[in-house]
Structure 1
Amino acid sequence: MHHILMALILFSYIPSQEKYTMISLPETQEYFGNVEGSILSCIRGPYLQIGNPHSIIIRWRTDIDTNSRVRYGIDSTSLDQRVDSLSITTEHEVTLTGLLPNTKYYYSVETMNEILSTGYNNYFITAPLTGTKKKTRIWILGDSGTANDNAASVRDAYYNLSEDIHTDLWVMLGDNAYSNGTDAEYQSAVFNMYPNMLKKSVLWPAFGNHDGYSANSDNQTGIFYDIFTLPTNAEAGGIASGTEAYYSFDYANIHFICLNSHDIDRSVKGKMCSWLQDDLYDTNQEWVIAYWHHPAYTKGSHDSDTESQLI
């Protein structure tokens, strides 16, 4: 029997202007901010995407085109493995494979010649093998794209609560960047807001109506789909959805399902519903957590009895 949870939780945050730039330091040190005279800067990230027991994606953005390198290892003083990409770009995406499950890895984001982001806080812990029973810490945020004082208070409250306990994964429930989901708004509301969490825990976002002002789920174009790398082919478990607009993944003994409640056909005979039925039928996980942006019932700032999209 599955224990099914529907995540409909609302939180928010504020940015702290933070930027990484290149400098040569020992692996056990960490640095932030600008270095006088430097030319190349890491202006977004690093941030983690699509993690499973044996692989993970690391993304970051630089202010000028360059190649990509990630060095990594289980000892922060000896990053003895690396993955290089010769592609010249400002949007860097490197996949690490052959990883051990439930293992802490330290990593350094670089070019072929310079270190961009390194230190003892640059680490991730791979997912355990699917089906493993373990205590799991999940951070769930919704409508978090306000980037104001209230949002900052929620962030700080969670950081104080979690202290040194690792967050295994975190979920955004949509409206991740107000008001129009522009790239600059994502920078303020997401990347400047939680740089430490982004580099240590995989983020699994849902699509909201404010994200939809700058993106289209039918063809998966726009800012949301440019910024995030999400599973389409069951890369982290579940059934392949064939789209980043909705997807599923496994972590330990939990099966997660992320649905699109904004700009995808939500009818019973639609593709998303058909995929959902197959995905639910296929999973043997003890827990199922399904989440999306619009609540099934609300009488707050919206009314699900009168608003056509909610009905």
Structure 2
Amino acid sequence: MSYDENKMKRVVNRPVRQLLVAGLSAGILLSIGFVSSSHWRAVGSRWETPDAPPTLLRHPYLQKGTTRSMGIAWMIDDEQPCTVEYGLTQKLGRVVESPGNRRMHFAEITKLEPDTRYYYRIRSGDTWLTPPDESYHFRTHVASKNKPFSFVVLGDSGQPETGDQCPLADLLSALKPKPDFIIHTGDLSQRWALDEAEYDLLTFGVYRDMLRNTPFYPTQGNHDWVTDWEHGLDP
């Protein structure tokens, strides 16, 4: 049985506790005990030194798309600056920085042409965080008011059982024509909104193949606030 290591990586900066980590590709849940340390990184059952290159915790997703610009967000497992390289072909050729030592990154690419496809890759220093894959692309919005467009609206998708998400993710990926953007009406997490890892498990991990090339606009639902079911606190 195998699993995608990129989906299992977490930086450990908290006291000893149990986290449920999803092995989405194998459909399994692993309970891993993490030891508190800002100098160690857990990768499945393997420990790496602080000198290891950064890796993606949250794969890139698109936001703030316009006719002339596009935003790309992602998260890495170490506080390091990053760079987005982009272009009209997979040879790329243009660069925009996401400076500062941080884990959560956002880069806005401007001065683009309307209704045009661009390819991109993300790196930190000399380490590429995304592969040279054509699925890492975006298309700027159409400038003409007369050209039709399509979009998807969904909500209440954050059920804890990852099996509930996969059929919907497959359906979205199979849509033709591909939607120009996705609107989420809230409740990305139905009951576990206690840690950013829950959103990676229930949303950004499951839908990552589509979010890397389709702008995603979520809103905050009542369950995206902390919910305490044991004490009857359901905001």
Matches within 5 A, 1:1-311: 19=6, 39-76=53-90, 78-118=91-131, 119-129=133-143, 132-148=145-161, 149-160=163-174, 162=175, 165-182=177-194, 183-213=196-226
Superposition deviation, residue 112 in structure 1: 2.8
Higher strand share: 2
Unaligned runs of 5+ in 2: 8-42, 228-234
Give distance in 2, aligned partners of 1:195 and 1:201. Answer: 10
Structure 1 residues 82 and 173 mapped into 2: Cα distance closer, same or farther (>3 Å)? Answer: same
Structure 1 contact 137–168 (Cα < 8 Å) conserved: yes
Give distance in 2, aligned partners of 1:18 and 1:143. Answer: 28
Partner amino acid, structure 2, of 1:60: W
RMSD: 2.7
Give distance in 2, aligned partners of 1:207 and 1:17. Answer: 29
Once the two structures are superposed, residues 34-93 of structure 1 have per-residue CA deviations (whole angstroms, 9 ceiling, x without a partner) of: 9x98532111121111111111111111111111100000111x2111012331111111
Give distance in 2, aligned partners of 1:153 and 1:85. Answer: 34
Task: Give the match's secondary structure for 1:136.
Answer: coil
Superposition deviation, residue 147 in structure 1: 4.5
Superposition deviation, residue 17 in structure 1: 5.8
Task: Give the match's secondary structure for 1:120.
Answer: coil
Once the two structures are superposed, residues 146-167 of structure 1 have per-residue CA deviations (whole angstroms, 9 ceiling, x without a partner) of: 153233222223333x15x332
Give distance in 2, aligned partners of 1:48 and 1:17. Answer: 22
Once the two structures are superposed, residues 180-221 of structure 1 have per-residue CA deviations (whole angstroms, 9 ceiling, x without a partner) of: 42312111111111011111011111221001228xxxxxxx
TM-score (norm 1): 0.54
Superposition deviation, residue 172 in structure 1: 0.5
Unaligned runs of 5+ in 1: 1-15, 21-33, 215-308
Structure 1 contact 17–192 (Cα < 8 Å) conserved: no
Higher relative contact order (CA 8 A, sep 6+): 1
Task: Give the match's secondary structure for 1:210.
Answer: helix
Once the two structures are superposed, residues 242-261 of structure 1 have per-residue CA deviations (whole angstroms, 9 ceiling, x without a partner) of: xxxxxxxxxxxxxxxxxxxx
Partner amino acid, structure 2, of 1:61: M
- Structure 1 or 2, whichever has the larger Rg, is 1
Where in structure 1 do 4 or more consecutive aligned residues deviate above 6 Å? none
Give distance in 2, aligned partners of 1:153 and 1:97. Answer: 35
Give distance in 2, aligned partners of 1:17 and 1:181. Answer: 24
TM-score (norm 2): 0.70
Structure 1 residues 167 and 18 mapped into 2: Cα distance closer, same or farther (>3 Å)? Answer: farther
Structure 1 residues 86 and 154 mapped into 2: Cα distance closer, same or farther (>3 Å)? Answer: closer
